[in-house]
Amino acid sequence: MRPPLPRADRPRRYPHACFLDQGPAADVLHVGELPDPVPGPGEVRVRVTVSGVNPGDTKKRRGWLGSSMPYPRVIPHGDAAGVIDAVGAQVDARRVGQRVWVYGAQSYRPFGTAAQYTVVPDHQAVPLPDHLTDELGASLGIPGITAHRTVFADGPVDGRLVLVHGVLGGVGSLAAQLAHWAGATLIATVRRTADLDRVDPAVVSHAVALDTDDPAAAIRSYAPRGVDRIIEVALSDNADLDNAVAANNAVIAAYATRTDRTEIPFWPLLFNNVTLRLLGSDDFPARAKRQAARDLTSAAAVGALTVAVGHRHPLDDIAKAHDHVDAGGGHGRILLTIPQ
């Protein structure tokens, strides 16, 4: 047996959470240590302070829709905030010490942000203005970039009438704020009448509860000619409602549905020349992600974006954080605090 290395020569190790198999959070998520990662060419290493937990992260852990383990070991989560502490070749050394928010850390890569360190391509560590919090930065990635794509994939929204379903959700709330920042007039829906008081009137001009007798008539009362854009979180539930309120040549931008094989009123939508855009965030065009990152930072910097934070968990309680997300998350983002 080789003698142990002197303490100064031992490789540093960092705390992280990972899963080696898919399944329930408490069964498969483990906290341990790994040797510090080293950034390669074009990459930066970020010392993570806060890691954001998203439904997409827990779906990968569960094997949702039959997805398999993409790598033998997965450190989950794509979103984070932190500080760059090392850079690889071809990256400006002046980035060391810069506060950043991170997106896509575990998109087609094995090691995400549920760790003290994460390594990402240089452009996926976005400068975070000093007056913005780490909590906001860690909440921008997946929901923010998805929201940006729902709003802007089909052109500017200045002067347009935009309907956002699920406006109290992670993507919906950011979509509404981005559309308002860009000059749109907002109509929004919530599931229950009791939630109407939680909608921000500074962003949303009119809010409608879906548990009312005729939400389509309520929306039409605010939009007699129909709405130009619809941001859709539950296409299977709302397809008929969307058809009833869409203007000619409207766009329905759907990023989720409740039924895998979702039915739509095809002929009425066709005769109304409606565009149905389906959005999967991992595979947005790289150019679109970079533009989203710039716009999200700009909007946040001027106070146009806020994010409600729900539960915060330490890294050791990552299983509880995942269970919170799988149970619906409650009100606000679920975050992990990473030990420093």
For the segment 229-257, what is each residue's pLDDT rounded down to a tens digit? 999 999 999 999 999 999 999 999 999 99
Mean pLDDT value of segment 186-209: 97
Q: Is the pLDDT of residue 21 over 80?
A: yes
Instruction: Calculate the dihedral angle through the C-alpha atoms of 135, 53, 153, 200, rounding to the nearest 10 degrees.
Output: -50
At residue 331, the pLDDT reads 78
Which of these ranges, 32-36, 318-322, 326-330, has the smallest mean pLDDT?
Answer: 326-330
d(CA 32, CA 53) in angstroms, rounded, equals 19
Q: Give the neighbor-by-neighbor strand order of the sheet with 275-278.
A: 206-209, 185-190, 161-164, 227-232, 246-254, 275-278
Q: CA Rg, the chain, in Å? A: 21
d(CA 58, CA 55) in angstroms, rounded, equals 5
- The percentage of residues in the chain with a pLDDT greater than 90, rounded to a whole number, is 91
Coil, helix or strand at residue 84 = strand
Q: Is the pLDDT of residue 69 over 60?
A: yes
At residue 11, the pLDDT reads 62
Strand residue runs (E) in the chain: 13-19, 29-35, 43-53, 79-87, 99-102, 117-121, 125-127, 161-164, 185-190, 206-209, 227-232, 246-254, 275-278, 309-314, 333-337
- Provide the pLDDT confidence category of residue 329 given band limits of 50, 70 and 90: low
Mean pLDDT value of segment 38-56: 97
Which of these ranges, 12-21, 72-81, 327-336, has the smallest mean pLDDT?
Answer: 327-336
Instruction: Calculate the dihedral angle through the C-alpha atoms of 178, 179, 183, 186, rounding to the nearest 10 degrees.
Output: -130
- Tens of pLDDT along 148-183? 999 999 999 999 999 999 999 999 999 999 999 999
Cα 95 → chain centroid? 25
- Tens of pLDDT along 295-311? 999 999 999 999 999 89
Q: Is the pLDDT of residue 114 over 80?
A: yes
CA torsion through residues 106, 109, 115, 117, sign: negative
Q: Is the pLDDT of residue 96 over 60?
A: yes
Coil, helix or strand at residue 331 = coil
Mean pLDDT value of segment 81-99: 98
Coil, helix or strand at residue 7 = helix
Which of these ranges, 11-25, 81-95, 145-159, has the smallest mean pLDDT?
Answer: 11-25
At residue 281, the pLDDT reads 87
Mean pLDDT of the chain: 94
At residue 78, the pLDDT reads 97
Q: Is the pLDDT of residue 321 over 50?
A: yes
> For residues 141 and 104, is the Cβ–Cβ distance under 8 A?
yes
Mean pLDDT value of segment 129-144: 97
- Provide the pLDDT confidence category of residue 8 given band limits of 50, 70 and 90: very low
Q: How far is CA 284 from CA 200, 259, 288, in A?
A: 29, 22, 7
